[in-house]
Amino acid sequence: MALSQCPKPFGPLVHSWRAQAAIFLIAIAPLAARAADYAGPLFDAHLHYNEEAWNGSAGPHSPADVLARMQRNGVKAIVANSRPNDGTKALASLEQTLQAGVTVVPFIRLYRNRADYDSWFRDETIYEMVQTEFARGVTGAQVGPYKGIGEFHLYDSANANGPVAKKLMQFAEKNNLAVLSHVDDVAIDLLMAHAPKARLIWAHTGIGGAPAARVDALFARYPTLMGELSYRPGLTCDAGKLCPEWRALLLKYPGRFMIGSDTWVNQRWQYYDELMKGYRVWLGDLPPDVARKIGWDNGASLFGVKAP
C-alpha cells in the first residue's frame, strides 16, 4: 500500500495510539521484508599490509589504524601477506593485535618489490627466500609458522608451468601450506597438476570473470580448491544482493568460499568499512548457516582458528 493512501481511512483516528502504530507498521513494511545483514564474525581471507600502507610507521595506515578498521567491522581473523613480508610480521608480532581480538594467519609473500610480480615463477632466489622465511616463521605476540604462500599473480597462465611455480606448489603441498593465487581458470588446472592435494585459494575466484559454470566444474574437479570473492565480476546485482547464478553456486558449495578485502593499494584501506558492509549485505541474503560459513567458518576451519 502506498503511504499516500493512508490518511483517508485513518484520518479521523490519526491521533489515537493504535492508528499511529498502524501507519508506522505500514510505513516500515518494505524495510522489514528485506533480510537482515549478516551480523556474525568475519574472516578476511585476502589482506595485504604493504610497505606503502605503514612504511615502518610513517605511512597513512599504522597498525593501530588498520586494527581499528578490523575491530569496528567485526573482522576477527585475517590472512595477512605483505610486500615485503615485514608488514605481516609486524602485525603478527604486536601485543595490540591480540588485544584487538584479531588472529593473524601469516602467508609468505613472494614479492620483495614490484619487479618480482613478473618473474617470480622462474626466479630461484624467490624459492630460496620462501625457504628461509618458512624456516624462520613469525615471532612476537602470535609466534608460529607461516600457514600459506601468496598472493601471487600469473598474468599469462602458461607461466604456471615455470620451474619455480611448480616447485612452490609442491613445497606448499608437502608442508600443508595454503596457496593464494590470482590466476585465470586455465592456470588453476596447471597449478593443480603440479600438486593435486594442494590447498589452493583462488583469489577473486576468477577476476577475469570465468563463467559460473566453469567455476562449478573446477570446484567439482578439485575438492581442495577454495574461492575468495573480492572483485569477483557478476557476484552482486541489485542493491548489493547476490546475482542468481552466484547465489546458486554459493549454496552448492557452502564450505568452499571466503570473503576478503584485498587491500592491495592504500585506497582499499580507506574503503575497508564499505567493503565489509557490502559483504554483510549479501551474506544476509543467504541462509544463516551458509552466511556464517562463508563469513567465518570456512577460513577458521582451514587454518584452525578458534571461534571468537
Q: Which three cell numbers stand for residue 227?
A: 574461492
**Which residue in the set 44, 151, 184, 297 belongs to the binding site for Zn ion (CB under 5 A)?**
151
Give the strands of the sheet with 42-48, arranged side by side: 42-48, 75-81, 103-108, 148-153, 178-182, 199-202, 226-228, 257-258
Q: Which of 262, 281, 292, 293 binds Zn ion (CB under 5 A)?
A: 262
Instruction: Please tell me whether residue 14 adopts helix, strand or coil conformation.
Output: coil
How many binding residues for Zn ion (CB under 5 A)?
Answer: 3
As measured in angstroms, the least distance from the Cβ of 50 to Zn ion is 10
Nearest residue (beta carbon) to Zn ion: 262
**Residue 134 or 264 with smaller CB distance to Zn ion:** 264
Q: How far apart are CA 182 and CA 207, in angstroms?
A: 8
Residue 28: CB atoms within 10 A of its CB come to 10
User: Cα–Cα distance between 139 and 94 in angstroms, integer?
Assistant: 9
Residue 184 DSSP SS3: coil
Instruction: Point out which span in 26-34, 221-229, 242-250, 259-267 binds Zn ion (CB under 5 A).
Output: 259-267
Stretch that binds Zn ion, among 128-136, 257-265, 267-275, 283-291 (CB under 5 A): 257-265
Q: How far is CA 239 from the centre of its chain?
A: 21
Minimum Å distance from CB 53 to Zn ion?
13
Give the binding range for Zn ion (CB under 5 A) out of 59-67, 91-99, 143-151, 266-274.
Answer: 143-151
Q: How far is the CB of 306 from Zn ion (least distance, A)?
A: 26
Region near Zn ion per CB under 5 A, out of 54-62, 132-140, 187-195, 263-271: 263-271
Query: If you count them, how many residues does the chain have?
Result: 308
Binding site for Zn ion (CB under 5 A): 151, 262, 264
